[in-house]
Structure 1
Amino acid sequence: MTYFEDFAKVCSAIEHISGSLEITTNVSNFLKEVSDEELPIVTRFIMGHVFPVWSNKELGLGPNLLYSAISRTSSLPVKRIEELIKETGDVGLALEKAILCGKTHLSLFSESEQLSIKEVYLRFERISELSGKGSQDAKIKNLQYLFSQAKPTEIVYLSRLAIEEMRIGVGEGIVRNAIAEAFGVPSELVERGILLTNDSGLVAITAKKEGKEGLIKLGVMINRPLRMMLAQIGAGINETIKEMGHVAVEWKYDGARVQIHKNENDITIYSRKLEDVTSSLPDLVKSIRTNVLTNCVILDGEAVAIGKNNRPKPFQEILRRFRRKYDVSTTAIEIPLCLNLFDILYLNGDSLIDIPLIKRREKLEKVCDKSVVAKQIITDDPAVVESIYNEALAAGHEGVMLKNPGSPYSPGKRGKNWLKLKPIMETLDLVVIGGEWGEGRRTKFIGSYLLACRDPDTEKFLPIGRVATGITDEQLEDLTKLFKDLIILENGIHVDIEPKIVFEVAFEEIQKSPNYGSGYALRFPRLVNVRTDKSKEDADSIERIEQLYIRQKGR
């Protein structure tokens, strides 16, 4: 049995290391020490995840619940805890200080009462199962139990885990390399396993017990969503045809991405964030039952909200459908969805991701009615592509997708095999990490938001600028409500926000800047959409910022 204190000590050591290789070795050594039962838990914990990314389980613990739990444990008022957070600038360190300052359980602590890693996980699992009347208080009591059993150093990482923000610089890249180093397997196979299963814990235990052979066997499974293949901005029609030869042309729908798992009569629909949204989309479920003519399949596509004029409704209307929990049938009538399927990843026991797109397309057309299959034309004629592009725009959609007909399906990868062409200003998907309260009539609202891109190695978020343009007064109110429970720290007009919400932001230019941690700043940023269909892991990376900067300078 491994104690949570051991985990806390490893995290504390990592926080004081700057080199990624040394961090990887520390993580690797700890993975080797824990038991088989603890390994999947630890692998997720070290990145700040309690459950697998694809799991329906969620803690639902915001800062307010966390502060209430530590207040009850330490006997300090919540106001004092908030002051400690302002002083330290870190939730974990502030709550550790609260325990040390308050009337605590520490004098009664004994070695026999030490928390184990498994006990922490089971308590978090219990919290995730609480819902309905009285659930908030029950969650606080469960947190209070953990805090009352923990040593001060453990409090730091318990509290960060509770809001799933470890902030120790361990991201998927480091965990991938640590698993490879710990169990002597190729990092490429570890990465493949993580992309296919969305569960680093499963990959770690597979690497330990079954080695290279076990990782090779990991594959696509029904009802376990895999990451969606991504597209990057194309340079142009002529350039793309020159590079690919023939291209598979499809409309780029102005909709929301869906991944559909059909297992006999059971149908599950996952959003781009791999959240189960089936209950909110009964019309899509009905369409799938009618038009998908096979027993066991995984499909990739786009759901589009169609208006009375037969044109796509605004993206925010689609998100209303995905978020709806009540009056679902009524909303389905108000905002009907149309399904456009463009890929098939799994069919009756066989993974299809490694076969060429052109072959996957043949199978897709065989098992789905043509009414739900996105139109596709393969051509090497720029004029044909131009015509399809104009048709898509005239129909109210975003442009076209140009795909390599010979390409495999690469989960979670953004590469040159899928390119998007659209006429609008370049946009970035950035995580909101802070904000400022407004002035004058906007004093009750957060008036501007601090944005950050993602460092894929450490999973840290690097500031790149603020956005206040493109936000209406109505949106200001809605956004303030959205972010209110995510505020971690307030200092005057400035707020630190838990990084969970993604903004799609347009801009005129990327500039070098020493004022932000990314080293870049956006010129004239403007809010385009709140991408609640995307997770913080979907945010654009610092590498993409650098690529765009180089491209715009013509270097």
Structure 2
Amino acid sequence: MKRFRESTDEHLLEEIPTEIRFFDLLKLKETSLIDDKLSKRIEKMGTELPELTLTRRIRTEKEEEIEKFFQSCVDRGNEGIIAKNLNSSYHPGERGKDWLKLKKTGESLDLVITRAEYGHGKRHRWLSDYYLAAYDEDEGNFKEIGKTYKGLTDEEIKKITELLEEIEIDRKGRTVVVDPQIVVEVEYSNIFSGESSTYDSGYTLRFARIKKIREDLEPENADTLEKVSQLARKEK
């Protein structure tokens, strides 16, 4: 598909209707806004452009709301979303931490559960939040790269709770530390690395979701930290 055409094909326009959506405003009349904060540029767009021409967006600091918005965009056929710092200015041609692209990769990883937490509400008796780890071949142990409570049915949660409680090695409040024996297949949107990670492994899965419990796999069949590193490099 070409991005630019010298002439407009009327039949193509009928087949694939198009519409303009604005996501930023860098110049208003003769005034440059490129050094203004994103929050101010968005405010200007709201006063200068019709609402229907603006890109869908939400303003939140809650991961659950981000994930819900992300999934709604993917369901509409979008590749993903971009998370932006409201205090950031616009830097042409630069990639940094103020703008993070989150997209559905289609990749999955086989990871072990190292810790689990009891849930809330109707799940208060079940281990429903799981810490996920990949195998570090250099150090000979498992390193956590994410956490999720998504993906499993209530029946699967009850089943995995029984399995985890059988291999419990420690307990701290609502958190149960387990022997890394249970392997699960995990889908995710992105892998954050370096300073963006919240784990000692140096990697963090974003929007992780358990696809299924891999009863056919042993812990030694789990994916390695090296594979996680390779996938993270592919995203850059």
- Equivalent position SS for 1:450: strand
- 1:393-449 CA distance string (max 9 Å, x none): xxxxxxxxxxxxxxxxxxxxxxxxxxxxxxx82000111100101111111100111
Cα distance in 2 for residues equivalent to 1:458 and 1:536: 15
Kindly provide the amino acid, as one letter, of the partner of residue 425 in structure 1: G
2: distance between equivalents of 1:525 and 1:534? 20
Could you list the runs of 4 or more consecutive aligned residues of structure 1 that deviate by over 4 angstroms after TM superposition? none
Deviation of the 1:514 alpha carbon: 4.0
Contact conserved, 2:146 with 2:205, CA < 8 A, in 1?
yes
The 3 A distance-change label for structure 1 pair 507 and 428 is same
The one-letter code of the counterpart of 1:538 is N
Give me the CA root mean square deviation. Answer: 1.6
Equivalent of residue 526 in structure 1, options 209, 215, 226: 209
> Cα distance, 1:457 vs. partner?
2.6
Give the structure with the larger helix fraction.
1
What is aligned with 1:449?
130
Any residues of structure 2 matched to 1:489-500 within 5 Å, and which? Answer: 489-500=170-181
Q: What whole-Å deviation, never above 9, does each CA across 1:177-196 have from its counterpart, x for those lacking one?
A: xxxxxxxxxxxxxxxxxxxx
Structure 1: distance between partners of 2:153 and 2:130: 14
Instruction: Tell me the residue number matched to 2:160.
Output: 479
- Alignment partner, residue 539 of structure 1: 222
Listed as ranges, the matches of 1:325-404 within 5 Å are none
2:148 touches 2:208 (CA, 8 Å); kept in 1? yes
Q: How far off its partner does 1:458 sit?
A: 2.5
- What is the deviation of 1:467? 1.5
> The residue matched to 1:490 in structure 2 has which SS?
strand
| Aligned counterpart, 1:226 | none
- TM-score, length basis structure 1: 0.23
Give distance in 2, aligned partners of 1:514 and 1:470.
22
Whole-angstrom CA distance in 2 between matches of 1:540 and 1:437? 26
| Structure 2 SS opposite 1:444 | coil
For residues 531 and 474 of structure 1, the distance between their equivalents in structure 2, rounded to whole angstroms, comes to 16
State the Cα deviation string for residues 317-373 of structure 1 (Å, max 9, x = none): xxxxxxxxxxxxxxxxxxxxxxxxxxxxxxxxxxxxxxxxxxxxxxxxxxxxxxxxx
- Structure 1 residue aligned with 2:64: none
Given candidates 102, 112, 129, the residue that maps to 1:431 is 112
Give secondary structure in 1 for the equivalent of 2:171: strand
Instruction: Tell me what 1:509 maps to.
Output: 190
Count residues with an aligned counterpart.
131
Q: Which amino acid aligns with 2:183?
A: V
Secondary structure of the equivalent of 1:482? Answer: helix
Q: CA deviation at 1:518?
A: 1.0
Q: 2:120 corresponds to which letter in structure 1? A: E
- Mapping of 1:33-72 within 5 angstroms? none
- Aligned to 1:463, the other structure's residue is in SS state strand
Query: For structure 2, which runs of at least 5 residues remain unmatched after alignment?
Result: 1-104
TM-score (norm 2): 0.53
2:231 alignment counterpart: 548
1:471 aligned counterpart, secondary structure: coil
Counterparts of 1:294-313 in structure 2, within 5 Å, are none
Any idea what SS the aligned residue of 1:470 has? coil
- Aligned partner of residue 546 in structure 1, secondary structure: helix
Amino acid at match of 1:449: Y
More strand, by proportion = 2
Tell me the secondary structure at the aligned position of residue 220 of structure 2: helix
What do the CA deviations read for 1:268-314 (whole angstroms, capped 9, x no partner)?
xxxxxxxxxxxxxxxxxxxxxxxxxxxxxxxxxxxxxxxxxxxxxxx
Whether contact under 8 Å (2:152, 2:212) holds in the other structure is: no
Match of 1:440 in 2: 121
Q: How many Å separate the matches in 2 of 1:500 and 1:472?
A: 20
Q: Which has the higher contact order (CA 8 A, sep 6+)?
A: 2
Is 1:465 aligned to residue 121 of structure 2?
A: no
Q: Distance in 2 between matches of 1:488 and 1:453?
A: 19
* Counterpart-to-counterpart distance in 1, 2:197 and 2:146: 11
Quote the offset at 1:537 in angstroms.
Answer: 1.1
Q: Distance in 2 between matches of 1:519 and 1:429?
A: 18
TM-superposed deviation, 1:531: 0.9
Cα separation, 2, equivalents of 1:441 and 1:480: 14
